[in-house]
Amino acid sequence: MTKIQVLGTGCPKCKKLADAAESAAKAAGIDYTIEKVTDINDIMAFGVMMTPALVIDGEVKTVGKVPPVEEIQKMLA
């Protein structure tokens, strides 16, 4: 089970990243869970100071941007 976490306090780009991550996971056909982390302290615990950020299985993959779905799909592979 792949654990996907989207770090962001709720701005439009954060929601966009969550949608993109969901689409990528579905396209990849993997078992996954997706969690939105909105608490600033929880976000900063990842060492992240810019949002949105994408975390896959505990590792920060992107910060401060919304990558294309295809790119996220590669990260999930």
Partner 1 sequence: MSTQAQGTGCCGGTTLIFSCSGAADVGAVADRAARKLTLDGAGRMFCLAGVGGRVPGIMKTTEAADKILAIDGCPLNCAKACLEQAGFTSFTHLQLADLGMQKGKTAVEESSIATVAAKGAELLGGATCCG
Beta bridge partners of 32: 2
Residue count, binding to partner 1 (CB under 8 A): 24
Give the separation between CA 23 and CA 5, rounded to whole angstroms: 14
- Exactly one of 36, 60, 67, 69 binds partner 1 (CB under 8 A); that residue is 60
Give the type of residue at 7.
L
Residue 14 annotated to the active site? yes
Q: Which is nearer to partner 1, 34 or 40 (CB)?
A: 40
Q: What is residue 64's DSSP assignment? A: S
Contacting positions for partner 1 (CB under 8 A): 7-9, 11, 13-14, 40, 43-44, 46-53, 59-65
